[in-house]
Amino acid sequence: MSKPRPNRYTTEPFSMPLRWRRKKPMFSLTYDRAKSALFLVAMLGLMSGLGFFAADRPDAATLAWRTGVVPVLIALVVEIIRSLWRGEVGLDIVAALSMSAALVFGETLAASVVSVMYSGGTFLESFAEGRAKREMSALLSRVPGTATRHANGTLEDVELDEIEPGNLLLIHQGAVVPADGYIDSEHAILDKSALTGESMPVQLGRGEEALSGSTNAGEAFDLHVRHRATDSTYAGIVRLVEAAQASKAPMSRLADRYSMLFLAVTIALATAAWWFTGDPVRAVAVLVVATPCPLILAVPVALVAGLSRAAHFGVLIKGAKPLEALAQIGTLVLDKTGTLTDGRPQIVSTEVHNGMSDDEVLYFAAALEQASKHPMAQAIVTAARRKGVMLPVPDHVIERPGEGISGTVSGRLVTVGGVAFVNQQVGATAVASRIMNVGTVVVALAVDNKIAGYITMADALRTGTAELISNLRRLGIGRIVLATGDRRAVAENITSGIGLDAVRSELTPDQKVLLVVAERKNGPVMMVGDGVNDAPALAAADIGVAMGARGAAASAEAADIVLLVDHLDRLLPGIEIAKRSRRIAMESVVAGIGMSVVGMMAAALGFITPVQGAIIQEMIDVAVILNSMRALGIKPQIGQENAA
């Protein structure tokens, strides 16, 4: 077993190891218990009062009902004072008025029913929100505690903070991959459902990348670690999830828009009923029916459910405000590199010379490029590993950064790099016979001072991009613009024929910000990017979307939404879920308030007593909350026809 070392997490956004952060905060637990206790007190007061009333002991019944109401009313008044201190006027005032008025005018049974209704509603809201957050909580609970590492021919269990790039880990069957890396076995079967929502496991070959947070659904395999656990995909996701859960999301934003109006209408109607009839009980009945649980409870339940469903599909939305804004986006601004394209160069074609084969060109180039950290070099190595090529360790390596590298592979002198660099090294004047397309790069290879071949590489457009653009338009996005710092010829060549409305090229970060601001004339703007240079534009947009938890920390921090994997098509379920969640929330609000207004009018006219009004309002509450919980079962349709 390796010696314990200082905890390196102290230099990361976390202040303690991941495995220590699974426990639920004590305040949240205490708060939930307080809600449960208030509900039990209110229910006990109501039921015992009814028992005393049935036993013909009205005085004892009245005392029991008052005893059940007072704690709930005190807690409600404290919450109202806190809200007013923060400058917020909430609809809890109506609930407090209804209970207070009922107690003052002797309608203790109605007050007891209202207290049960209100405390039960907040308890149900807490339960519903807890259920809605299960997808995010599931992400946090999956953090592995240790990993199994190869060490001098043996295996050892190590803590996550001891994993280093270059380590070889053994991933047991059913284990969660603790760090990003490359498959170092013939094959591996990974379940990525917790990261991407994909229902079927995927099979990966040697050299292919495995993301931390995936589950080994097949036989045990070896993993060549690429990043420390703290820098890996899953650690980034956990940071984002915890930030989203800790953020103060304006869950009652829809309710706040109408709270003052509803409060004014309620008080005016109650006052008018008392004034014109001289009967204060009618005013009490109006206040009881008006208790606005549809607005207080239905909106947060629907929106939190939407956040949960989006997380299930690999879309982390940082609160209810971005979810609501996402449902109303009209213009989309896209970065090119790493967004519309994969962001990593890929081999497009190979040209061979002097009797070499394609496989030999790849073998010699990849073997030498193992010693380089250049993106082109890493892409060539990855391509060779995916084909199962066994790469020897190069010797006598000399690299000229940005130009090329030379060394010995299997006893032969090999040079790889730009055409000019390789020609200079071998004293050749030959050039690639194929015409280089816009946006491509040619890597030359020489073996034993002879040109052996050329590898053409490009950052290709992601598969299915044209269909994605079409589906985005089906979801109501009317204008889609490309914003890139790349040359215009490259941008236009790559995006030709996919249906963009405009291409803006050679942009600096501040020019991207200006573009986002200018596009606002067409409606709310969403910006999607993945790099540090995209962070200002992401912050300036109405909705900023960062590509992948492995992207730049600056872009993920500035963004309102993070796609947990580098697949732009994750926008489709995210947008659809946002639209449907908001629609469900609005349905609950309109239906609930509509029925409450009808009940208030009936109470003002004397057709409903305070007790009847409380019971009617309870039925309305249950109906709208159950309707809001439909958001938990949203199943996106657009873009999912061919999903696994």
pLDDT digits (tens, 9 = 90+) for 412-468: 999 998 888 888 888 766 554 444 555 678 899 999 989 999 998 877 777 788 888
User: Is 323 in contact with 634 (CB distance < 8 Å)?
Assistant: no
CATH of 145-231 given 2.30.42.10, 2.70.150.10, 3.90.79.10, 1.10.150.530: 2.70.150.10
Average pLDDT over residues 500-520: 86
**Positions of CATH 2.70.150.10 in the chain:** 145-231
Q: Residue 593's pLDDT band (boundaries 50, 70, 90)?
A: confident
**Positions of CATH 3.40.50.1000 in the chain:** 309-342+462-577
Instruction: Give the best-scoring range by mean pLDDT among 46-55, 425-434, 538-547.
Output: 46-55
Q: Residue 293's pLDDT band (boundaries 50, 70, 90)?
A: low
| Structure tokens that stand for 19 in this block | 């495995």
Query: How far is 443 from 421, CA to CA, in rounded Å?
Result: 10
* DSSP code at position 294: I
User: Is 171 in contact with 177 (CB distance < 8 Å)?
Assistant: yes
Average pLDDT over residues 199-211: 77
User: Is 65 in contact with 46 (CB distance < 8 Å)?
Assistant: yes
| Structure tokens that stand for 201 in this block | 């496991």
Cα dihedral 373/378/384/390 (nearest 10): 30
Query: How far is 561 from 399, CA to CA, in rounded Å?
Result: 40
Of 618 and 580, more confident: 580
Catalytic residue among 335, 459, 530, 566: 335
Average pLDDT over residues 538-561: 72
- Beta-strand relationship, 315-317 and 561-563: antiparallel
Q: Secondary structure of 321-334 in the HEC alphabet? A: HHHHHHCCCCEEEE
The CA–CA distances, whole Å, from 95 to 202, 283, 352 equal: 53, 13, 80
End-to-end CA distance of the chain: 42
Q: Residue 292's pLDDT band (boundaries 50, 70, 90)?
A: low
Q: For the purposes of burial, counting CB atoms within 10 Å of the CB of 5, is it exposed (0-12), middle (13-18) or buried (19 or more)?
A: exposed
Q: How many other CB atoms are found less than 10 A from the CB of residue 275?
A: 10
The tally of CA atoms less than 13 A away on the side-chain side of residue 398 is: 6
**Positions of CATH 3.40.1110.10 in the chain:** 346-458
Could you tell me the pTM of the whole model?
0.65
* DSSP code at position 137: H
Query: How far is 284 from 603, CA to CA, in rounded Å?
Result: 9
Output the pLDDT for position 242: 55
| Structure tokens that stand for 50 in this block | 């009814």
Residue linked to tokens 């941008």: 491
The class (CATH top level) of 346-458 is alpha beta
Average pLDDT, the chain: 78
User: Is 633 in contact with 308 (CB distance < 8 Å)?
Assistant: no
Output the pLDDT for position 610: 86
Residue 59 annotated among the catalytic residues of the structure = no
pLDDT digits (tens, 9 = 90+) for 208-245: 888 887 888 888 899 999 888 777 766 666 665 555 44
Q: How many other CB atoms are found less than 10 A from the CB of residue 635?
A: 10
Average pLDDT over residues 17-26: 37
Laid out side by side, the sheet with 209-210 consists of 154-159, 146-151, 168-171, 221-225, 181-183, 209-210
Task: Enter the CATH code of domain 309-342+462-577.
Answer: 3.40.50.1000
Output the pLDDT for position 413: 94
Give how far the C-alpha of residue 595 lies from the chain's centroid of Cα atoms, to the nearest Å: 35
Residue linked to tokens 């807690």: 75
- Beta-strand relationship, 181-183 and 450-458: unpaired
Angle at 639 between CA 557 and CA 194, to 5 degrees: 50
Average pLDDT over residues 143-164: 83
